[in-house]
Chains A and B, each alone.
Chain A
Amino acid sequence: MKFLEKYLHKMEPHFIKGGKYEKWNPLFETLATFAFTPKLVTSKGTHIRDGVDLKRTMFTVVIALIPCLIFGIYNTGHWEMAVVEGNRDIPYFSEMLAKFLMGLTIVLPVIVVSYGVGLTIEFIFGMLRGHSLHEGFLVSGMLIPLTMPADVPLWMVGLATAFAVIIGKEIFGGTGMNVVNIALTARAFLFFAYPTSMSGDKVWMSGLGEKMNTNPAELDGFSGATALGDLASFMSDKATVAGEAVQSNMAVQSFSNEYGAWESFMGMIPGSIGETSTMACLIGGLLLVFTGVGSLRIILSFFIGGFVMGLLLNLVGGNPYLDLPAYYHLIIGGFAFGAVFMATDPVTASQTASGKIIYGFFGGFLAIMIRVLNPAYPEGVFLAILFMNVMAPIIDHYVIQANINRRLKRLKTI
């Protein structure tokens, strides 16, 4: 690697202040510091430093997302094939390579657009502010595609990414300064700006919407809905049959026939690209918790919060949504993905130890509450996390105040 190092040394004078390409310094620095840990040394204070830096930390999150990504690509391919064949019940583990490649042709462009748009904007802001790329977007750029439905138009991905990076992050000052999670800002932007492309039962499988327009006959009786969407439709069916508990139980029964607990947990169901597999999320979560990048406090309390809310709703009962077993809520929709990758974003989550527990618990609690009690938003997870992002400073405020009060009390007791 000596030649690369020499080349960098040679090029460096052009990019520093007064050099020919001074303006492009942020770009040069980003590339140089990616290839080589820079030769910065400590000046005073602590003379040695821990090996860990933000690049490695963020890269670990990207690694943790790989199970979700790989599974998501396959799952997307599977449901596209189901659409092509017009049969929702084709075997899951067959023609695996073909499915994976089909999925790849859909997912890869979304990722490219997300990173392309996001990094370009980050570079522009970096050049305006004279600093190299800060690593936060390495993760956001991967999270955004994974929260998108398979059929999302690429221009929407680009628009949402631009919105999230500019409005969600850069106007607050960049990485580390944002109030709400970047990826969820992108998701929420699309959800409210283009609801028809982000919800309903045509967007979750690639090619479905188009085929429904051109060749609806082949899709007779074919449903493109997600588990949550289906649950909502069971609800509306039920509304026409008058409310009896027996009916509700039957609906739950037929729901769990369609979406078995195992299939749901593994993620063999339609949904946003990377969120369906609770299993893949947990593998990523294990890596995050083990390395200390993700907070176990948040993940665990998020799941507990969701489960508790599910149980409470079970107690009320009366319609399929309320009667759905509490554990089901944890394995369908984006719940696990949100708990592991979104709620744990250290910048937007609570930062105090006890604050994290409260933050996580209410995140999960609200996610299920929104999902069940407001049928307009079956996917309540991202709304709940965004809401808790906003509330996190208030939670921290009270935790900090408790610390301050302990100190004041000490003063009074002497």
Chain B
Amino acid sequence: MSNTISIRKGLNIRLIGEATKEIREVPVSGIFGVSPLDFHGLTPKMAVKEGDTVLVGDVLFFDKKKEAIKFVSPVSGSVKQIVRGEKRKIINILIDSDGKQEAKKFSIKPIKEQTADDVKNLLLESGFWSSMKQRPIDIIANPSNKAKGIFVSSFDSAPLAPDYEFVLKNEMEALQIGFDALSVMMEGKVHLSSKPNSSFSKIQGVIHHSFDGVHPAGNVGTQIHHIDPINKGEFVWSINIQEVAEIGKFFASGYINSSRKIALTGSEVTTRTYLNATRGSKMESLVKNSVEATNVRYISGNVLTGDRKELTEYIGHYHNQITVIPEGNEYKFFLTSGWLGAGFDKFSNSRLFPTFLLSKSKKFRLDTNTNGEERAFVVSGELERVFPFDILPVQLTKAAITNDIDGMENLGIYEVAPEDFALCEYVCTTKINIQEKIRQGLDLIASECM
């Protein structure tokens, strides 16, 4: 094991609402949704029609530009509706589950007999590839590129994030098989970053790295930057560790299991536990009987990078967590709870609020209020304190805002994903939507330079 890399620039936002370490089963029933919108930049092409019956693992749609990339059904049943939006854009594919979870059988040779291409093709056919992200651009990995490595983080340091040590404690074998498969595909270039003394250090056949410190220590982007930063023209891939375990199960059995452990978190949740639920579940079925308040925001994912969802929508493809926090859509009188208030209820990285005086164990109930209006960049040196990259965050954001392609390339756009800027966006005094700006910058780079 290499030396531990300690991340000091960052911030642990101490929120109320961590999930307790118990697992509740959520039965498979009702409508499930798979949304092409979860995959940034994807143009889907349908493989099924409304009314078709599907098994778990049957292809629903594929990527129009890279047809090898397929997206499969998480449940067995029938395709109820293909929801379309403006210009017939596909918003969602709704599947009426029959509750039986009958799965398609894949024939799989033992891993030792497989070549790199065999593994890749299996991942593509089974839909697991859709969970494989690439940097630069932060989109689904292009299987025809050659990546310099796959990076996996075994811990999530985001607020209230699921604890993978708990989630995967009984799945070490599957995890080992999953990593073996990835290792075959990558000829050994698989990096696994863990906390010091993690139980994942038992995994064999991967290159281990050790990280600790504050968020974003667990973000794969931070880890890549400190292990082997991305240069122009290079590609790296990353995948969530829970998916690796599922890949392991798939290679062992030939069947796709589409259940995932999902942490139900946030201050507004009354019964915070882990859920054993199926991919594509409706938000309503996941938070049923767990939220009493009404003026709340449901987030698929964590508070920093997740997607806002209505109860009638479905959990996002990349998310293993649901967070429910209060909405902040009310006026706050400036002296009591507004901009000039004492602010003991606010969590701030700046010393303009007394957060730093309070006990480190105090947790906060934060709402979605922006706590101020958007302004031009005024304050300097603020984003740098929570951005553990040798990259200038303000300058890179400005280059993205001004569509300055040369500037973005020079300043390191190839290394970053929007999620790396989530904390910058949180602390920004002038309330600029930095992740959105970086996303636009990446899209411009993707269309002009890739």
Q: Spell out A's residues near B (CB within 8 Å).
A: 1, 4-5, 8, 33-57, 59-60, 132, 134-136, 173-177, 290-293, 295, 346-347, 349-353, 356, 400, 403-404, 406-407, 410-411, 414
- Chain B interface, number of residues (Cβ within 8 angstroms): 75
Shortest beta-carbon distance from A61 to chain B in Å: 11
> Which residue of chain B has its CB nearest to the CB of A396?
B395
- The answer to whether A400 and B392 have CB atoms under 8 Å apart is yes
- The answer to whether the Cβ of B339 comes within 8 Å of any Cβ in the partner chain is yes
Instruction: Name the residue on A nearest B376 (C-beta).
Output: A176
Determine if B392 and A39 form an interchain contact, defined as CB atoms under 8 angstroms apart: no
Determine whether the beta carbon of B329 is less than 8 Å from that of A39.
yes
Query: Which residue of chain B has the shortest Cβ distance to A399 in the bound complex?
Result: B392
The answer to whether B340 touches A59 (Cβ under 8 A) is: yes
From residue A337, how far is it (CB to closest CB) to chain B in Å?
Answer: 21
* Contact present for B333 and A5 (CB under 8 Å): yes
User: What are 24 of the A-B contact pairs (CB < 8 Å)?
Assistant: A36-B333, A37-B334, A41-B367, A44-B436, A45-B425, A45-B436, A46-B425, A47-B303, A47-B308, A48-B303, A49-B371, A50-B427, A52-B349, A52-B427, A54-B373, A176-B376, A176-B377, A292-B352, A293-B352, A293-B379, A346-B380, A400-B392, A403-B411, A407-B412
Instruction: Say yes or no: is B141 at the interface (Cβ < 8 Å to chain A).
Output: no
A353 to B384, CA, bound (A): 9
Q: A47 to B371, Cβ gap below 8 A?
A: no
Nearest CB in chain A: distance from B192 CB, A: 22
Residue of A nearest to B418 (CB): A45
**Chain B residues near A349 (CB, 8 Å)?**
380
**How far is the CB of A32 from the nearest CB of chain B, in Å?**
8
Tell whether, in the assembled complex, residue A52 and residue B371 are in contact, meaning their CB atoms are under 8 Å apart: yes
On whether A37 and B371 interact (CB within 8 A), knowing A51-B343, A51-B348, A291-B350, the answer reads yes
For the complex formed, measure the closest distance between the CB of B306 and the CB atoms of chain A, giving whole angstroms: 7
Main secondary structure of the interface of A (DSSP, over half): loop
- If A49-B431, A50-B371 touch, does A292 touch B334 (CB 8 Å cutoff)? no
CB contacts (< 8 Å) of A47 on chain B: these are 297, 299, 303-304, 306, 308, 323, 325, 368
Question: Are B332's CB and A43's CB within 8 A?
Answer: no
Verify if B124 is at the interface (C-beta below 8 Å from A).
no
What's the Cα separation between A197 and B382 when bound, in Å? 40
Residues of A near B391 (CB, < 8 A) are 403
Contacts of B306 in A (CB 8 A): 47
Whether the Cβ atoms of A55 and B331 lie closer than 8 Å is no
With contacts A52-B429, A134-B376 known, what are 8 further pairs, Cβ within 8 A?
A: A38-B331, A39-B330, A47-B303, A47-B308, A47-B325, A48-B303, A295-B381, A352-B392
Query: Which residues of the partner chain B approach A43 to less than 8 Å between Cβ atoms?
Result: 308, 433
* Bound Cα distance from A132 to B375, whole angstroms: 10
B368 touches which one: A37, A41, A295, A404 (CB < 8 A)? A41
Most A CB within 10 A of own CB, among B299, B390, B429, B433: B429
> How far, in whole Å, are A57 and B435 apart by their CA atoms in the complex?
23
| Interface residue ranges of B249-300 to A (CB < 8 Å) | 297, 299
- What residues on B are CB-neighbors of A350 within 8 Å? 380
CB distance from B233 to the nearest CB of A (A): 8
Contacts of B392 in A (CB 8 A): 352, 400, 403
CB-CB under 8 A from B403, the residues of chain A are none
| A356 cross-chain contacts in B, Cβ below 8 A | 380-381
Q: Give the distance in Å from the alpha carbon of A287 to the alpha carbon of B433 in the complex.
A: 29
CA distance A411 to B229 in the complex (A): 10
A47-B303, A132-B373 known; A54 and B429 CB under 8 Å? yes
A54 to B381, Cβ gap below 8 A? no
From known contacts A48-B367, A351-B381, A351-B394, infer whether A53 and B336 are also in contact, taking CB-CB under 8 Å: no
Residue of B nearest to A136 (CB): B378
- In the complex, whether B434 has a CB less than 8 A from a CB of chain A is yes
Check if B410 sits within 8 Å of A41, measured CB to CB: no
Contacts of A46 in B (CB 8 A): 303-305, 422, 425-426, 435
Q: Which residues of A contact B22 (CB under 8 A)?
A: none
- Beta-carbon contact of B308 and A44 below 8 Å: yes
Cα–Cα distance between A350 and B380 once the two chains are bound (Å): 9
Contact residues in B for A347 (Cβ distance below 8 Å): 378
Contact status B368-A42, CB under 8 Å: yes
Contact with A along B347-381 (1 / 0, CB 8 A): 11111110000000000001111111101111111
Do the beta carbons of A37 and B384 come within 8 Å of each other? no
B380-421 near A? 1/0 per residue, CB < 8 Å: 111010000011101100000000000000111000001000
Question: What is the bound-complex CA distance between A38 and B334, given in angstroms?
Answer: 10
A24 to chain B, nearest CB (A): 18
Question: 9 shortest A-B CB distances, which residue pairs?
Answer: A53-B372, A176-B376, A51-B346, A37-B338, A36-B331, A45-B435, A351-B380, A37-B332, A46-B425
In the complex with contacts A51-B347, A404-B410, A56-B339 CB distance below 8 A: yes
Cβ of A132: which chain B residues have Cβ within 8 Å of it?
373
Indicate if the CB atoms of A177 and B376 lie closer than 8 Å: yes
A50 and B339 within 8 A (CB):
no
Residues of A close to B430: CB separation below 8 A: 53-54, 176
Q: How far is the CA of A134 from the CA of B433 in the complex (A)?
A: 18
Question: Is A57 within 8 A of B353, CB to CB?
Answer: no
Whether A50 touches B348, Cβ cut-off 8 Å, given contacts A55-B340, A403-B390, A403-B392, is: yes
| Given A37-B371, A352-B392, A407-B412, A1 contacting B304 (CB threshold 8 A) | no
Judge if B428 is at the interface, Cβ distance under 8 Å: yes
